[in-house]
Each structure stands twice: as structure tokens, then as C-alpha cells.
Structure 1
Amino acid sequence: MTVEEEIQAESVVRSFTEDWNYFAYEVLGARLDKEQQDILTSVQFNPRTSVASGTARGKDYVTAVACFCFMFLTPKWNEEGDLIDNTKVALSAPTDRQVKNIMMPEISRLYNKAKRNGVILPGRLNVYDIRTEYEEWFLTGFKASEHNHEAWSGFHAVNTMFAITEASGISDDTFGAIEGNLQGNSRILIVFNPNNTVGYAARSQKQDRWSKFRLNSLTAPNVIEKRQVIPGQVDYEWITDKLKLWCEEIEADQVDIAQDDFEFEGQWYRPTDIFRIKVLGKFPKAGKDVLIPQQWIEAAQERWVRYHKTIRVDPYPKPLRLGVDVAGMGRDSTVFAHRHGNIGKAFTKSNSGGEADHMEVAGRIVHILKNDKKATAFIDTIGEGAGVYSRTKELGYESRALSCKNSEAATDNSGEPLTDITGQRTFANMRAYLGWAVRDWLNPKNYPDNTPDVYMPMLPPGGGFLEEATEIKYKWLSNGSIILEDKDDVIKRLKRSPDEFDAMANTFYPFEPTSKVKDLSGYF
């Protein structure tokens, strides 16, 4: 090879490593749609990628493409030809059949497609793996067994990737074993049909640590074009059949965002759970005991993004209500929730290092109140927050810093029960009232149809609020009042305290109430 040819070859390889979609197209002959390309880009740059998918949407295909890109674009050699940065790829599923008959055939097709394109990729293609002449450079597929965590122990490498298909069928313990290997330049890609609302896969679609995608079968190229654009993917005829079988036609004035109602070719539909899972790539409808449906929060986050792209005036016209959830000895962070009327501006955290620092937290609160004369702070005074509240009062901010006790009675200053927006529901304690106030705020049914975004609730994307809010359940007591489930039960499922939700709920504390709260003005 001449010097010019070596330079040209190095340039091509560099372009492949910089853009995995280019490698997929030129070498593997992969024809990915825009959403699949975005998933591949995510795997290139993000350590964790989660994909919930409808039927025949190409989730296994893009997974195989991602495995190939990681396998062949991450290892490095020195000038002597020694492998110095090794790469291992583990491809897994709940059953051996899924690995052998679904995923490995996708791998084989891509490997052979590259060969037909004139590119001989390193390694030998076998039934369950691709093995190279280097012992520490390979791709292998195997069943994920919850009883054999040792199967994951050999995956320590400079570059490590775990690709898990049908991830909702794999136990949390198995994922715990995988997480232990996510070091260095590591990736985990999980793809699944969202059959279950609980478990590792379900949580990945709510957690900020993941790059999240949803492959909706309604947006598949074959459906949009009404012809076979990508062979093997879901087609228009299948969709129209399932609209009749699994959906109810509704009128535009019946649309309910919590029901995942959608429009297709000018007609509104209400999906059943099987349509949500198989077509929309969404989880089954939330149980009736869930405090806040995920759809309400996602809608508020989408409005926040739109609003901050288009604002031309004061973005936060209403006074600040600052909710503070103070960290104790067992938690690392104090959470501040900033809410201006219907706009949740931000969540900020102060790391305590596991030690309560009342003076620092009080100082931060005072700094905010001092620089914003209209702001009011609402401090959780159960436990560590009591000291913060006391110090804030000592510094002269008693009238603008209020004590929030979740255990206190949900009553106004005259002892009358506080109610929800309808004036009908009462609450067992202040925690239940505050949680329901957040629910009333986010509930789209509490706003007139076609209300502009600027008057609707908005929440900043990311963080832990979505996961926390959708994990909390409520129930009715025999006396007709509402109570939230015990916080310890929420913590057991979340594996942490719902601090962002608690801080936001504090912002709805009734500020010097003189009567029952019966309309949204009492909330913001």
C-alpha cells in the first residue's frame, strides 16, 4: 500500500469512527430510518440507551447494527499491531431461542451484507458469536439467566457493550450484575416491548441517566408512505386492521391525554392497552391508584421546551414559590424546587456529603429571598429541615419562610378541611393534600380546551421528578378522605427518596389560607 493509499484509508476509518451511521450505511449496507439513526447515534455517544418499541419496528435490527459498530470501531492497536484497547460485546435476551433465532440471524445478515459490499470484516462468524484472532476481541450471544450472574463476569475490557433485547423479561438481579461491568468506555443498549410497568426496563424510560427512545409503529416509513419502503417492518395494512381491532373511535371533544388518545388520518382514537404496547410502544395504562399519570408530566415537559424556545417577554411573571426538601444524614442532596405560577423553573440540588449542613442550606434560602423580594420559601420541617427553618427565622425571614409538616392536619387557619380543586375531596394529612395539589395542577382536565401553553403547567425535562411522581400511589380511607401510600414503600421501589417531588409539592403549601381551596388560584 502506498503512502497516499494509507492516508486515504486512515481518513476513511476516521470518518467511520466519527459517524457510526456512515459506517452502517457504507459498510453494512444498513438502511435505517431517522429514528433508528438517532438510536445508533445515542449508542455512539451515550453510555445508556433505552428503546421501548411497537411491533415490527426494527428494534432488533438497529440493535445488531449498534453491536457491529461498537465491535469494529472501538478497538485500537499500536504501531506494532498489538491490540491495546480491547473490545467485548455481549448480546443477550431472556431465552436461548431469542438469541439464536432472532438476534444472531440479524448479526449474520449484516456480516454477510458487508462481505457482498466488498468489505471482509475481521473474525469468524459462528452460531452464537464472532471470534477474532485476538482472544480479547469478540462478540458473543447467550441467554440471560437470573441464576448465573457469573456469565457476565468475563466482560471486563477497555471497550464493553451489553445489548439486551426483550429487556422487560429480564430480572433486576441480572441487570444488577450487568451494571457492575459498566466501567471505562462501556455501553448498555436495552430494547423491549413495554409490556410491564415495573422493573429495570420500565424504570429506564423514566430515569434521567438514560437516553430514551420510543419506536411508534404509526411513524414507521412503510405506514407513512403506505408502501414497502423497508422490507420486514410494520406496514399500513396491519396498522389499519389494528385500529379497528384494538381502538375506539372518539370525537375531538372527548380527547383525554391520560388515555393516550391520538389522531390518525383525521380520526381520533382511544387505544386499548394492547394497542399501546404493540403499536404505540407505550406502557399499559397507569393503574387507577397512581397519583399522577406519566402522560401529564411528559406533556408539561414538552410545553416547557416549547415555551422556552419562543418566549419574548418575562419568562417567569408570577412570584417565586421555593420548595425545599432538606437532606438528612442518610441523603446526599437538599433539593430546591423553583416554581413561578404555572412554570416549574428548575430543580437545584446542594450536595451535603452525607452530613446535614443547616447553616449552608439556610444561607442559600436567605440569599434567594434577599435577592427576590416577592419570593416565598416553603421548607419541609420534618427532621433536618426544622433546623434550617429555625435559622431562616432567626435571620429575619419569618414572614417569607413557611414550615411544611407532612404529618399535620390538612386544614386551613380556621380548622376547616382543605379540599381539592372541586371542593369535594378531603385529605388525611398535609402530605396527601400537597401531593394531590400537584396532581390537580398537572391534570389537563382542569383547564379549558385549547388553553395556550403559557397558561398551562410546565416542568423542566430531565431529573428525577417524572420517575418519582409516577411511582406514588394513593387510596381512599373509610371516612372518604385521601391518603398517599407510606413513603417508605415508595422508597423501596425507587431505591431512593422522592426528593424532587417532595420539594415541588411543598410549593403548593397553602400560604396563609383563609378558606377552603376550591380553585387553581390557591395553587398558583
Structure 2
Amino acid sequence: MTSQSNIEVEGITKVDEWRNDWCLFAREALGVNLDAEQEKILHSVQVNPRTSVASGTARGKDFVTAVAAMCFMFLTPRWDDKGELIANTKVALTAPTDRQVKNIMMPEISRLYNRAKKIMGGFGDISRLNAYDIRTDYEEWFLTGFKADEHNHEAWSGFHAVNTMFAITEASGISDDTFNAIEGNLQGNSRILIVFNPNTTVGYAAKSQKGDRWAKFRLNSMDAPNVVSKREIIPGQVDHNWIADKLENWCTKIHEHEARSEEDDFEYDGQWYRPTDVFRIKVLGKFPKVSEDNLIPEQWVELANKRWLEAKENGFVPSGKRVVGSDIAGMGRDNTVDCHKWTDYVEKFDVYNSAGVADHMASAGRLKNLLSHKETFVSIDTIGEGAGVYSRLVELGEEERAISCKYSERASQNDKPLKDITDQYEFLNMRAYLFWCVRDWLNPKNGFNAMLPPNSVFMEEATEIKWKFRSDGKIQIEAKEDIKKRLGRSPDLFDALANTFYPIKPTIKNNLSKIASLI
């Protein structure tokens, strides 16, 4: 084998290594050192179709976006033995304004490109850097940057390729219509990476941090290497002096006993702080504090998830009464959901895809099998599809431990109105009462120490529900149709959990009333 052949083989081997490890390509070919969080993001773009990054200020979100775009640009094309391009690659960089593309995104690309030319002598032979793009000798292999124009969806029509990537900065400033146009191009080996400061709780970017479609990351400026070490490790990233100034001006100092998780209170260098919304957004990379009409703050769910993970790690095994809340699917609905809950612990959500075909007898059989355990109850939503399942369980002799949960009935027991944990508030109907029970159960101030398995679908559902006081002082939950419009689906997991709080009939031994008894 000739020396030239050896070089070619070594080159092919090295490219294969880079294709398998984009972080290695970033280090060896682009000459950059990403921090640990940035490497996780880059790896996510390598393997996941959708990656969402909410970030604090100067945390390197645009830099890692540029690195990911360069990796995709140069590692995804394929050629045949004759040198013909058989798998083309197109990368689009976009932002709400032309200035952001020209002054933020393309300079990052330029620095990476020029560094790669110095490291790999032949890099410039296969491509050319221009003001807004990187072009090659192949018309169908390029990277380009341009402003996202919500009125010009045709701009996205040329981005069909075997390998397609959309890298979007300041994504919270881009309209949902534009994202819908981009979504139409996510075919084949496609990627979408969106990075943004989480300055609003609505819109496509905000929704990407919920749900289960996206790999989700949050870059907290306080975790930046320069801040943690209190010295410059990565030039240009946020530093300790900037953080110290924002702690002084964007936070309120508090005592440890005043700390509240729902306020995102935190400790830094021995002092406790309560952040303002601007600190949440610009430093913590978190959304503004949830509005007062949201039923469940995200922080409460996160705490319950953390307790659940700790309980599993410590070998926790639940005991006593179990209530399975069941939300039954029917025609046109995809999923039946069973929520398995003990007093302060949800073991799991079982989700059954019905493919739009209601199979009530299968659901009844499954729940009947669960009731073979003596200390198990099932609480079934009997407004609609669940009525047939409940009736079948009654026919099978399970009338004492099968609970008919009707959301529309009065929120009362023994002719007395059901109230919240403070014994102050009454409710429009049973649905409002049960949803509020979930709120009271998750509220850290109430001391139930709720444990929930991490589930991005549940998180999205729980944090979308809104409530209000009626003129008569009763609490009302917004209509299900309004929730579905925002979610794009029914909040089935949340409904199933809410069902578990339905008061057990007075005839049952050891009756539990109100949330203070919490099944």
C-alpha cells in the first residue's frame, strides 16, 4: 500500500470517528473546548431530531449552536465510490432579525470555519465562506443564514434534503406560523435546534421545554465555568463579577427559613436570595414566575419528581391503600391512562394506546385484575366512555371498590360542601375540587411530600391548566376545550391523577374525606 493510500485510509478512519462523536470533531477539527453542558447539547443534536435550549445570559448558547451547525454541515454528507454526492446536506441558520443573523450567528460560524482552516489545511479546498453562508462545489450542499420572515414561508421551501438542519437563535421571538413552515421540512435525517432566553411562557419555543417531543436543556449562568471557579476559564462567557452585580440588583436577600421553592429561592455563597423575573430569565434560564391563574407551578412538579427519584434510589416500596385513577379513551381519543397512587406516592402512569377504537371490556378486565389486590380501589371518570367500564365492574361484583367519578356533580359529601385544605374555599363542581386537591397535594407548604415520576407529558398538562374565582367565591377550573386548544390534546394524565382524589363512599371502611386524608 502506498503512502498516499495510507493517508487516505487514515483520513477515512478519522472522519468515521468524528461522525460517531461530534464532540471529538469539535475539539480536533474546530479547535474548541465546550463545557460539560454544551457537550450534552451537541451530543443531543447528533442523536435527537429536536433539541431545545433555554439559556441565561452569555452562557454560550449561540456558540454551541454554531458548533452544532458546523458538525452537521461537514459530517452528514455522503458520497459514493465515484465521488458523487448521494446524501446532500443543507443547514439553515435563522433568527428574528437580520442583525442577529449577521452580527451574532455568522460571526460565530466564521470564527469556527477559519480556525478549522488553520487546523486542517485542506478544509478551505472543499468549501468557501461568504458573508451569509458556506458554499461548496455541490449546489445541494451548503450552510446559509437569513432572517426568519413570518410573511414569506416560501423561503423555507428549498430546504428539502437527505440531511437538513435548522438552527434558530432567539427562538422566542419567532412566530408560530414560521415554526409551522419549518416543521414541514423536518423529514429524513433532519434536526432542529432552538436556543432562546425564556422571556415568555407562551409560544412554540416555550412549549418546546415541555412535552415529550424535544430533548430539553437549560443553561444556568450561575453554573458557567467562569462563575463556579471565580476566574476566567472561557473568554467571553459570563463571569463571577457580573453574577455578583445581578444578585445585588435583581434579587432580594432573605433568610433561609423564608425560602420557598415556588419562588425559585436559592442559596449562593452562604446567602439566600429571592430572584425577580428578570433574574430568572437572564441568569437562571427559567421562565418568568407562573401567573397567579395557573393551577400548578412547574417548580412544585419538579420537587415532586426529585422526591420520587430519591425514593426509588433508596428502595422505597409503597404500602397500604392504592387508588388507580382511570381516564378511559373512546372513539377519536388515542390513550387510556391509569394512574397508580398511594397516599403521597404515584408509582406510575400506565398509558394504553387505543388507536381510536374504544375497548371497554379490555379496560374493565384490566381494572378487575388490579382489584384482585384487596387494598386497591379504582376511580373511573364516568362522564362519557368510562361509564361502560364502571358498569361492567359493578356487574362483576366490584361496586364497593369501583368509584364512579363524575366531574360535573356537586362538590359535596354528606350534603356538605367539600372545601380545600384550609377549609376556606368551595368549588363549582367536583372537577374543580379534584383538580384543586392535586394542587394542594403538590404544594410544598402543605407538607404532603408528594412524589411523582418524572413525565414531560404530565408536566406540560399540569402547568397549562388555569383557574379563577367566580362571583360567588367558588373556585372554577377553565373548560377542558380551552386546555385542549393550547395543548393540542386532552390532559389525560392529569385527569387520571385527579380521579385518585375522589372521596371514597361513606359505606367503605376507613372512609377518607377531604384532601387531609389523601388516599
Q: How far apart are the structure 2 equivalents of 1:73 and 1:518? A: 59
Q: Is this contact kept in 1: 2:69–2:91, CA < 8 A?
A: yes
1:290-309 superposed matches below 5 A: 290-309=294-313
| Structure 1 residue aligned with 2:22 | 20
CA contact (8 A) 1:70 1:161 kept: yes
Q: Tell me if structure 2 keeps the 8 A contact 1:418–1:516.
A: no
- TM-superposed CA distance for 1:318, in Å, is 3.5
Residue number among 460, 466, 487 corresponding to 1:467 in the alignment: 460
- 2 CA distance for matches of 1:89 and 1:513? 64
Contact 1:220 1:233 (8 Å CA) reproduced: yes
Distance in 1, matches of 2:121 and 2:65, equals 21
* 1:310 Cα offset (Å): 2.3
- Alignment correspondent of 1:178: 182
Q: Indicate the residue corresponding to 1:419 in structure 2.
A: 419
Rounded to whole Å, the distance in 1 between the matches of 2:322 and 2:97 is 53
1:2 to 1:318, Cα distance in 2 relative to 1, 3 A:
farther
Partner residue in 2 for 1:83? 85
Tell me the distance in 1 between the aligned counterparts of 2:270 and 2:193.
36
- Percent sequence identity over aligned pairs: 64
Deviations 1:55-74 (A, max 9, x none): 01100000000001111111
- Contact preservation (8 Å) 2:308, 2:451: yes
Matching residue of 1:440:
440
Structure-to-structure mapping, 1:32-181, within 5 angstroms: 32-121=34-123, 122-181=126-185
Given the alignment of the two structures, is residue 245 of structure 1 paired with residue 238 of structure 2, yes or no? no
1:300: Cα distance to partner? 1.1
Deviation, structure 1 residue 421: 1.3
1:103-161 deviation digits (Å, cap 9, x = unpaired): 00000000001112234433111111111111111111111111111111111111111
- Cα contact 1:416–1:516 (8 A) shared by 2: no
Q: Is the 8 A contact 1:60 1:103 kept in 2?
A: yes
Secondary structure of the residue aligned to 1:174 is helix
- Structure 1 portions without partners, runs of 5+: 448-454
Counterpart residue number, 2:489:
496
Note the 1:215-364 alignment, pairs <5 A.
215-311=219-315, 315-364=317-366
Match of 2:371, SS state, is helix
Q: Is the 8 A contact 1:328 1:355 kept in 2?
A: yes
Superposed, 1:180-195 pairs within 5 Å as: 180-195=184-199
* Greater displacement, 271-280 / 6-15: 6-15
- How many residue pairs get aligned? The number is 512
TM-fit CA distance, 1:352: 1.6
> How far did 1:458 drift?
1.3
Q: Secondary structure at the match of 1:431?
A: helix
Q: 2:499 aligns to what? A: 506
Deviation of the 1:320 alpha carbon: 2.0
1:412-452 deviations in whole A, cap 9, x for unaligned? 1x1111111111211111000100100011100011xxxxx
1:323–1:507 CA contact under 8 A, matched in 2: yes
SS in structure 2 of the partner of residue 182 of structure 1: coil
Once the two structures are TM-superposed, the CA of residue 11 in structure 1 deviates from its matched residue by 2.0
Q: Which amino acid in structure 1 is aligned with residue 135 of structure 2?
A: R
Matches of 2:45 and 2:506 in 1, distance apart? 51
* In structure 2, distance between residues paired with 1:318 and 1:12: 59
Aligned to 1:451: none
Q: Which residue of 2 aligns with 1:452?
A: none
**5+ residue gaps, structure 2:** none
- C-alpha separation between the residues in 2 aligned to 1:318 and 1:173? 51
Shift of 1:75: 1.0
RMSD across aligned C-alpha pairs, in angstroms?
1.5
1:390: how far off? 1.0
CA distance in 1, matches of 2:292, 2:404: 32
| 1:523 partner letter | L
SS at match of 2:309: helix
| Residue equivalent to 2:518 | 523
**TM-fit CA distance, 1:306:** 2.2
Aligned-residue offset at 1:401: 1.0
Provide the residue aligned with 2:379 in structure 1: 378
Give yes or no for contact 1:473–1:484 (8 Å, CA) kept in 2.
Answer: yes
C-alpha deviation, 1:3, in angstroms? 3.5
Does the 8 Å contact 1:167/1:190 carry over to 2? yes
Query: In the alignment, what sits opposite 1:479?
Result: 472
Q: Quick one: which amino acid aligns to residue 181 of structure 1?
A: N
Distance in 2 separating the partners of 1:180 and 1:395: 50
Shift of 1:340: 2.2
TM-score by length of 2: 0.96
Mapped partners of 1:32, 1:401: distance in 2: 56
How far residue 43 of structure 1 moved from its aligned partner, in angstroms, is 0.6
How many angstroms does 1:480 deviate by? 1.7
Deviation at 1:513, TM superposition (A): 4.9
